[in-house]
Amino acid sequence: MEIAYKATIRGRVTGVGYRYSAIDKAGEFSTIKGYVSNVDYHEVEVWVQGERKEVDMMLEWLKVGPCMARVDHFNFVEEKIDPTMTDFEIR
């Protein structure tokens, strides 16, 4: 069963390769779809959709991010499945 979440991540998450690392991480999973986007300086928004186990693992990674990142705030809310999502991309 697919689930979807929208996450907001704040901290040192812009200018440190967070979005590109998220793309790489999502590529490790077979069902992850969605996007990662800079919203503001020090803030990233991520839509993660897929099978529960893979989404949970992706959310755990997003809480930490790549080695140069520092996540100070992580919030996520469950969303309705978006049938238009076909891959995981940078927006």
Catalytic residue among 38, 52, 70, 91: 38
Catalytic residue among 10, 12, 19, 70: 19
**Is 38 an active-site residue?**
yes
* Cβ atoms of residues 47 and 85 within 8 Å: yes
**Displacement of CA 83 from its chain's centroid (Å):** 17
Nearest to 34 by CA among 70, 64, 58, 61: 58
> C-alpha distances in angstroms, 12 versus 42, 50, 61?
6, 27, 15
Annotated catalytic sites, by residue? 19, 38
